[in-house]
Amino acid sequence: MADLTTHRPKSRGITQWWSQWKNGFYSKLWVQDLFSRLPIFARLSRKEGEAIFQMMTGFVDTQILLYFVRSGLLADLKEGPLAINVLAQNAGLDTETLRLLCRAGVALKLVHVHKDRVSLARRGALVLGLPGIAELIDHHSILYQDMADPTPFFKGDMAYQLAAFWPYVFGTMGTVNDRDVARYSDLMTKSQFMVARDTLRAISPKKNARWLDVGGGSGAFVTQVTAKHPHVTATVFDLNGAHNGALGHDFIEGSFFTDPLPEGFDVISLIRVLYDHSDDTVRNLLTKVYTALPSGGHLVVSEPMLGDPHPNRFGDTYFAVYTFAMQTGKTRSAKQISDILKEIGFSSVKIHPTKRPFVTTVIEAIKN
Ligand SMILES: C[S@@+](CC[C@H](N)C(=O)[O-])C[C@H]1O[C@@H](n2cnc3c(N)ncnc32)[C@H](O)[C@@H]1O
């Protein structure tokens, strides 16, 4: 372990005394022994033990899940149960290793095993069936390679592979080739449908609204907008190459770094766009949105956000670190985004509560 020098102010107030006493108290073995025998405390200490174990071993779960996806083990089970030795043969593993993996898969609730026959458990079927989940699981290996040594990772002393994976965040479309933009857009498209569902549960556009989705990629989001609200006309604004030419909506090519946003829309949405960018870029982009909207126009921001007021595992552990690794990205709380919106001039900024904060949180704001 690294020898870390701690710098601490010399003053020793009551808070510091209490903190030291508490830390010493919890780490004493006799305290732990006592806690494990007292009814309520026993549950508490077991839970703490489990939580520490979970944090320590979570990477093993992650890699088992990745193997189930990448090796095609889950996909093999899609059509029905298979014998362990057949699965082993398909995966090119010996039967004992496959048995070990299947036991782990049972513990993670990915598969069931009954009399040496393996079938998909509900969780495994969801991983396989929900659009984009398998691709999302797979692309995380880039982040985990970056994080293999957390010291240079958090010091910023390294070349982040994840930043190379999302190059468009660094500049204008001239610096990014169309094929790369199309590849990233595809990953976002596949993972879009849950975000769109939760966003459209919160937002109801008025009849015949004209909707512009800025950074809308392939148009997966607006496709769901118009499917749910057929009277709405939708347009995507994005870099060249991000769009797949899907019918049912218009596409305007441009960059919000260099171009003004098109006018004439009642609603402008930014779906999973802000968290890719620095505060300056976000402020400029939101100002462009404000300028482009008519009076009474709506802005919809939807993306995963920090836990507010309390940090949580989704926003503050995962998304904050992911966007940190992108280098120009930053996960923000709903309040931080709302404050910027109010500064720019938006009124009635509303944060819509969402049941799945790991998918998205939605903010709606109106231009005066
Ligand atoms: C994280 S993806 C989100 C895509 C889509 N909104 C979704 O949720 O699936 C960010 C999108 O912003 C687009 N984007 C990035 N920089 C841009 C720029 N300067 N101008 C316009 N679009 C940009 C990307 O091409 C990409 O489609």
Alpha-carbon distance values, 35 to 1, 51, 60 (Å): 29, 16, 29
Is the domain defined by 162-367 classed in CATH 3.40.50.150?
yes
pLDDT band, very low/low/confident/very high, at 132 (cuts 50, 70, 90): confident
The third-level CATH classification (topology) of the domain covering 29-129 is Arc Repressor Mutant, subunit A (1.10.10)
Structure tokens at 83: 């014998």
Lookup result for tokens 């958090």:
154
Alpha-carbon distance values, 118 to 74, 91, 101, 121, 124 (Å): 10, 14, 11, 9, 12
Q: Is 166 in the pocket of ligand 1 (CB under 6 A)?
A: no
pLDDT tens figures, 260-310: 999 999 999 999 999 999 999 999 999 999 999 999 999 999 999 999 889
Residue in 287, 300, 269 with CA at minimum distance from that of residue 364? 300
Q: With H, G, I as helix, E, B as strand and everything else as coil, classify residue 241.
A: coil
Asked whether the beta carbons of 225 and 232 are under 8 A apart, the reply is yes
Paired strand residues for 361? 303
**How close is the Cα of 216 to the center of ligand 1, in Å?**
6
What ranges make up the beta strands (E) of 76-201? Answer: 82-83, 111-114, 117-120
Residue in 203, 317, 316, 201 with CA at minimum distance from that of residue 268? 203
pLDDT tens figures, 137-195: 988 999 999 999 999 999 999 999 888 877 655 544 445 566 666 666 677 777 788 89
Domains 29-129 and 162-367 in one fold = no
Q: Where are the domains of the chain?
A: 29-129, 162-367
Paired strand residues for 301? 270, 363
Ligand 1 binding pocket mutation candidate from 188, 253, 282 (most atoms within 8 A of CB): 188
**How close is the Cα of 133 to the center of ligand 1, in Å?**
19
Question: What's the predicted TM-score (pTM) here?
Answer: 0.85
What pLDDT does residue 345 have?
95
Alpha-carbon distance values, 91 to 68, 73, 75, 88 (Å): 10, 7, 11, 5
